[in-house]
A and B are shown apart, each in its own frame.
Chain A
Amino acid sequence: MSIETLNIARRALNEALGDKVTTYFNHMKMWFRMKLTKEEFDTEARSLLSSEQVRYHNEFLLALLNKVEGLAETSISIAQEKTNSHNRNSRRNKRNSRSTSEKSNFETADIIEYLPPNSPPGAGSDSVKYAVQEVFLPDHALVVGRFMLAAWELGLEGAEDEAADLIVVAVQNFLKNILSAVISQRKGYKRRGKNFIYDLGCEVPNMWLRNSANVYDPQSDGRVTVDDGADALGPRCPPTIDEMEQATAMEIACSVPDVEPNEDRITIDEVYNTLLINKNIIASHSVYAINMERIAAMLDHPSY
C-alpha cells in the first residue's frame, strides 16, 4: 500500500536529517498553509540536506504526492525534471573536462524553470493563514495532507482516507445548515413531520381565505399502506400527476401574490441576525463567539 512506502520514505528522511527535522517540517507546514510555494520549499529543503540526502527528500515527496492523488501528475514531472537537470549538470561537467576543443552544444532552455510558481500570485499568499481562505471548499487531497502532517508531529503513523472524507462531508453539512437557516428566515417552506424542511420558496397559503383549508398535499401521506399482500404491509400507490398538478394550482391560488422583487443576494445582516437567533447552528461556543464579534465589528462604523 502506498502508506507503507510513505512511512518508509519518511523514516529514511528522518534519519538523514538528524537534528534538522523540526526545521524541515516547519517548512513543510508553511507549504501546506500556502505561505511557501513548492519551489521555495524545495530550495529550502535542498539547502538543509547534502546532495545524497536530497534523494530521500525527493522520494518522500514522490510518495506523499502519489498518496495524494490529483497533485501527483504535475509534481512527479517537476520532480523528475529536477533530478534530470541535476544529472545533466554532473554529466556536462565531466564532458567539458575531457574535451576542451569541442564546440559547446546548444541546449534549449528548460521551460519548467521559467514558469510562474504553482499557487496563483494574486491570492495574497502572505496574508493567507488558512488554506480555505481561497474560495474553494477543502478537497480530499488537501485534508489528507494536513492530517498527515499533524499526525506525524504528534508521533502518530498517519491519516486514513476515510477520515478526510468525513471532514469534507462535515464542512459541506455545516455550510448547508447555515444557508438553510438563513433562507428559511426569508421564504416559506413546508415541513414533513416535525423536522424535515423541504420546498423552500414555495407559495404560502393565505390563511384568511376560506379555500385555504382545503389545500392538501397528496405527498404528505407517506409510502406505506396496509394491503392484501402476504406481509400485510406494502408500498402505496403514488399520486398521479393530475392530482399533484391540481394540488399545486390550488396552493398557488390560495397564496398571497408576491409583489416585491426578489432580492437574490444574502446579505451579511441576514446572516448575523440568523446566527443570533439560531445559536445552535454553530455548536462550538468559541467559534460562534469569535465569529459573531468579527461580524459585529464589520457591521459597525464610528458614525453610527
Chain B
Amino acid sequence: MADEAPFQFLHNEVLQYIYKSAENGETDNGRNIAKLENMGFRVGQGLMERLTKDTARFKDELDIMKFVCKDFWTCVFKKQIDNLRTNHQGIYVLQDNKFRLLSQLSAGKQYLEQAPKYLAFTCGLVRGALSNLGVKSIVTAEVSVMPACKFQIMIQKM
C-alpha cells in the first residue's frame, strides 16, 4: 500500500530547498523553475518506463495522451485528468479541476503568483513521461482559478 502524503510532503520540501538555495531572490525564478522542471523530467521518464513495461504499443499520439490523462495521472495523483482538449495539430490541453499539489495553497489571489512553483515539477514529469514514449514536447501550465489548473502540451516534431 502506497500513500500520497510522502510524495506531497517531499515535493513541498524540494520546492523550499530549490528556492532557499538560490543565490538571488526574484531574478533567479526562471532558473529555479527550470531546476524543478528538470527534476520532474527525470522522474517522469523513470516512472513511465516502469508503468509501460508490460503494455502494448500505443496506436497513435492521441492514444498516448489518453494514457497520460488516465493511467499516468491516476498513478501520480490518484485521479484522472478531468478534461482533455486538442486541436488535432499537436497541441493538447489537460485540465485538472482539483490539482493535488495546489491543495496546500490557499485560494487567495496573492498565492496565485506562487502557483507556477507548484506546477514546474509536474510539467517536467509530463514532459519526461512523453519523452520516454518517444514524444518530444514542451509542457507549460497555468492556474486561473485555484485549485484547477491546465497543462498545455505542445508536441515537437523531431
Partners in one complex: no
B-to-A contact residues, CB < 8 Å? none
Point out residues on A near B: beta carbons under 8 Å. Answer: none
